[in-house]
Chains A and B, each alone.
Chain A
Amino acid sequence: MKISKIAEVLRADVLCCEENLEAEVASACAADMMSDVLAFVKDHAVLITGLCNPQVIRTAEMMDIVCVVYVRGKVPDAMSIELAKSKNIVLMTSKYRMYQACGILYGEGLRGGESRI
């Protein structure tokens, strides 16, 4: 699924790296605990989270995650946005709650991928 499609179906505002909106994501992972994200490994994934600190971006960077969706209308701090820009990670914020956001993306055909590396 294209990142632009994720933004569209989640009615999300893109916060940075708009130039990468046409990139493809192959799977999704939703978590507020970063260690749960680190237990999940898939290429070109999108992370759906309600957590807003810079460690979200560092975790995304470690996992080669290409897009982070903040749910419940959350907006990350300026440092997170700067860090994401330097790593070329698309950030967007959606007013949907995590459960809804996951349901919408799953319904559109985006699956979770394997839980093992």
Chain B
Amino acid sequence: MSEQTRISLEFDVEGDNFVSAGKASEAVKGNLKMLGLPPTIIRRAAIVMYEGEINMVIHAKGGKAYVDITDKDISITLKDEGPGIENIELAMQEGYSTAPDAIRALGFGAGMGLPNMKKYSDNMEIESEVGKGTTVRMKINIQPDSEGQQQ
């Protein structure tokens, strides 16, 4: 990609629609593939986006996803107007989940979503207000050496 390349994508994530959940992540992955980025970078972006998308579907009745791709990094912002996260520190712990049993039966709500998002992004910030919503910002670096960071 050239220095000036910049692609901005925006998605509406439908809430409570478990069948369509993941469509935005699929589209992002398709775009990254077309740009010819390294497979590890693509997979990391796909994982964090997908976990985030699923979270918005499960907990927040959907929301918006904004993805910015430059020659340096991939920025993913997930914004919802859901119930908010009461205790972010607790939510970041592996295995902690407030998802109902019905969601667990669908294969999610293992308390691995946020930890996976942190693990596979180079930077993650969460802003959340109870009753107002949550914004998650994640960044994945696209440098030649960034592939090795998580190996």
Contacts and interface: CB of A to CB of B under 8 A. Distances in A.
Contact of B29 (A41, A51, A61): A61
Interface of B is mostly: helix
Contacts of B50: 38, 58-59, 62
Contact of B40 (A54, A62, A117): A117
B43 A64 contact: yes
Interface stretch (A12-20, A28-36, A68-76): A28-36
27 contacts: A34-B108, A35-B109, A35-B111, A35-B113, A36-B110, A36-B112, A38-B47, A38-B50, A39-B116, A43-B39, A53-B106, A55-B18, A58-B21, A58-B22, A58-B26, A61-B22, A62-B26, A62-B29, A62-B43, A62-B46, A62-B47, A63-B43, A64-B43, A116-B150, A117-B44, A117-B47, A117-B119
Interface of A: 32-36, 38-39, 41, 43, 51, 53-56, 58-59, 61-64, 79, 116-117
B80 interface: no
A58 B22 CA distance: 6
Nearest to B147: A117
A54 B18 CA distance: 9
A10 B43 CA distance: 29
Contacts of A59: 22, 50, 107
B51 interface: yes
A116 B116 CA distance: 11
Which 8 pairs across A and B sit closest by C-beta, in order of nearness?
Answer: A35-B112, A58-B22, A34-B107, A33-B110, A62-B46, A35-B110, A51-B107, A117-B150
A69 to B, nearest CB: 15
B19 interface: yes
Interface string B110-151: 111100100110000000000000000000000000000011
A55 B22 CA distance: 8
